[in-house]
A and B are shown apart, each in its own frame.
Chain A
Amino acid sequence: MGKQGFRDTESDIYVSQAITGGSTAAVGIDDTDGKFKIAVDAAASTTPSSTAQFSIDPSANGDIVLVPNGSGTVDATNVTVRPDGATDAFVQFETTTPENYRIGIDRSDSNKWKISHGTSLGTNDYFVMTTDGNRTMPLQSCFLAYVSSIPNVTGDGTTYGPIIFSSEAFDQNGDYDPVTGIFTAPVTGKYILATFVDLGRSLVAGMTDMTIDIVTTARTYRIGSINGSACANSNNSDVGLSGCVIADMSNGETAYVQCRVAGGAKSIDVFDSHFSGGLFV
C-alpha cells in the first residue's frame, strides 16, 4: 500500500532534493525512455533526464545500468554473480573498439571456469579450468611435428636445415609449417622448443664431426656436438640426440632444427625424428 504516488504521461516524474550550494539528486522516471533513474550532480536542477548514475530499464529484463561520470568508479565490498535461472554466471568486459571478453562459469560444460573471447562462454574458449583444477588453453600456440625419413641430407659437411618434419601430430594455432620446417612465433614470449634427431644409418669411420642445433632468429642453441661414428649405435649405425631450451622469441621470429655431419659422403639420413614447441610464458 503506497503512502504517496505520482502519475504523469508527458513528463518526468520524480523527487528532487537539493542542499543549497551543494548536491542535487533526482529520483524517478525519465519520460523519454521510461527508465527509473537516480541522477546526482554537484550542480542544481538535476532531473532523471540528466546524466543518470543509476537506472533500471523495465522494458529490457529490468537491466540495471551504473554509469559513473567520466573516470568514476563503482565500489563494492564484494560482488557475487548469481543468476537465478539456469544460465552461465559471468562477467563481461566490453570496450568501444569494440572488443569483448567473457569470464565465468560455463554451466553447459561441466561448470568449467573459462575465459572466452566474444560474448559467450563455450565459443572461442581461450582458458579453461575444470572444477578439479586442470587448466587447458585450446588456442595456445603449440605443435609437434615428426618425420620418418629424409635421405642423404648430410655427411659431407653439409648443414641441413631447416629439417623438414613433414607430419604434424598437432599444431594449435597453425604456427608450424610442415613444408618449410619453420615455426613462427605468433606473439612475443618465451617458448619451449624441443627436438630429437636421429642421424644415420650409415655413420662410418671418419664421420667424427656431428652437430645438431635449434636455430632461432636471436641465437643458435647447440643441442649436441659429438663424434658421430664413435658414438654410433652398432646395430643401425645411427646416433640420436635430444635437447630442449626455453627461448625468447619476438612476434614473427622463427625457429627450426639443423644438423651436420662431416667426414664422409653425403649419405646420412634423418630418421624417426621430431620437433615440438609452444608458448610457455
Chain B
Amino acid sequence: MSKQGLIDNGADVYIYQQRATTQSVAVGIDNTDDKFKIATRSSIGIDPSSTYQFSIDGSANGDMEFVPLGSGTVDVTQLTVRPDTAVDSTITFQTTTPQSFIIGIDRGADTLQLAADTSLTALNDIFLMYSQGFRTMRQHACMNAYVSANVPNVLGGAAPAGGQLDMPADTVVFDQNGNYANPFFTAPVTGIYFFAGVGTVYNLSAASTVYVLNFNDAGIATGGHTFSIRPIAARNGVTGELTLSGGGMFFRRTAGQTFTFRFVVGYGSMTVGIGGDAAMFKSGMTGGLFV
C-alpha cells in the first residue's frame, strides 16, 4: 500500500528538499538512465540528473554506486562482504589505467586470494592464503634449473682465470614468472633475491688446482665464492666427480640485472667437464625474490 506515489513519463521523478538557500537534496529516478539516485549539493536547484552521490540501477542487477564529490570518501565503521548465494566474496580495486586487483574468498577452495584481475578464477591468484594458514604466491619470481647431461671439455684452462663457464642449466624444473633463460636469471623487479647453487665437475687432473663456483653477478661487485679448493684431492674416489653446494646467499638486484653461477677450473688443459644428470640435480641453480 503506497502512501504516496509519483508517475511521470518523460521527466525525472523525484522529491526535492531545500534548506534555506545553501543546501538541497534530490531523491528519485533519473529519467535519462532510469537509475534511482540521491544527489546532495551545497547549492539549490538540483535534480537526480545532477551529479549524484548514490545510485541504484534497477535494470543492472541492482548495481549501486557511491560517488563522493572530489576527493571524498565513503566511510564505514566496518565492512562485511557477505553474498547470500554460493558465490565468491570479493572486493575489487580498479583504476582508469586500467588495472584491477581483486581480493576475497574463492568459495570453491575456501582460500583467501588476491589476483590482478576482475574475478577469482583457477590459477590466476598472485597471493593465496589457505584456511590452514599457509601462503603461496604462484606468480612470484622463483626458479629451479639444472644440467641434464655432462658438458665435456669446458673447464681447466690456462691460469689465472682458467676455463670458465656459466651454469649451463638446460632443464627447467619450474620458472615462476618466466625470468630464467639459460644461463641467466633476470630480476623482474628491484629487490632482495635468494640463490643457491650446486656444482659438479669431473675428469679432473692434477694439473687443475683451482675449482671455484662463483656467484656471477654480471659485473656487480656483490658476489663471493661459494668454495675454492684444490679439486683433484677432494674428488670422489669412485666416481671421479666433485660435487659441492653453495649454501645460499641473498643479493640485491635492480630490475633487469642478471644472475647466474659460474664454474672456474684453473690450470691444466680444457679437459674438465661439468657434471649433469637427467635424473639427479647435481649441477644447477635455484632462487627467487625474497623481499
Contact = CB atoms under 8 A, between A and B. Distances in A.
Contacts, number: 345
Given A95-B105, A194-B247, A211-B236, A246 B61 contact: no
Contacts of A280: 142, 288
Interface stretch (A70-78, A176-184, A265-273): A70-78
Interface stretch (A144-152, A159-167, A216-224): A216-224
B161 interface: no
A224 B62 contact: no
B129 A101 contact: yes
Contact of B286 (A24, A25, A41, A245): A245
B84 A72 contact: no
Interface string B229-259: 0000111111101111111100000000000
A221 B198 contact: yes
A189 B173 contact: no
B88 interface: yes
Nearest to B60: A72
Secondary structure type dominating chain B contacts:
strand
Interface stretch (B4-12, B217-225, B261-269): B4-12
Interface in A131-166: 137-141
Contacts of B110: 95, 97, 99
Nearest to B6: A17
B58 A243 contact: no
Contact of B64 (A24, A75, A88, A92): A75
Interface stretch (B39-47, B75-83, B152-160, B162-170): B75-83
Contacts of B105: 93-95, 99, 101
Interface string A6-36: 1010011111111111111111100000000
B36 interface: yes
Contacts of A218: 173
Nearest to A11: B1
A111 B31 CA distance: 47
A194 B282 CA distance: 15
A243 B63 contact: no
B200 A68 contact: no
Contact of B174 (A141, A242, A248): A248
B143 to A, nearest CB: 8
Contact of B62 (A72, A89, A127, A140): A72
A38 interface: yes
8 contacts: A40-B36, A70-B62, A74-B66, A99-B107, A222-B200, A227-B234, A243-B247, A281-B140
The 10 nearest A-B residue pairs measured at CB: A208-B237, A139-B133, A243-B245, A72-B61, A225-B243, A222-B282, A246-B286, A40-B58, A69-B62, A20-B9
Given A92-B78, A281-B176, 4 more contacts: A19-B31, A75-B64, A126-B129, A187-B136
Interface of A: 3, 6, 8, 11-28, 38, 40-42, 47, 51, 53-54, 64, 66-84, 87-97, 99, 101, 103, 115, 117, 124, 126-127, 137-141, 173, 186-190, 192, 194, 208-211, 218-227, 229-231, 241-248, 262-263, 279-281
